[in-house]
Amino acid sequence: MASVVMLIIAGCQNDTVVFVKRPTKLLEQPYPYGYPSTNPQRNIIIATLKAGDAGYLLNCIYGKDYRACKVRMTDGAIGYLIDEGDFEILKRK
């Protein structure tokens, strides 16, 4: 796995890579799926990512009780990952 990450970093124009550790959703909007629980807002699942998927961090924003990171995956899909410990942010040195 480390060699895959190194290849992605070497070919990346951005200095920050996101590495998925366990299955998670890539979302259209910058808030959790089904949020808020009292009146859930529409949010489309763009893709279900699996462990080992990687992308480039574009930015992170903070909601009331969550952090959403906008990423561009290696297949070109752009969306938001909600930080629940499902991914790791790696910075190039």
Looking at domain 2-91, its CATH class is mainly beta
Q: How confident is the model at residue 6 (pLDDT cuts 50, 70, 90)?
A: very low
- pLDDT over 70 at 57, yes or no: yes
Tell me the C-alpha distance between 8 and 6, whole Å.
5
Tell me the C-alpha distance between 33 and 70, whole Å.
15
Strand partners, 49: 24
pLDDT, averaged across the chain: 85
Query: Model confidence over 31-47: pLDDT tens digits?
Result: 999 998 898 999 999 99
Tell me the C-alpha distance between 69 and 83, whole Å.
7
Tell me the C-alpha distance between 14 and 91, whole Å.
9
pTM of the model: 0.81
Domain ranges of the chain: 2-91
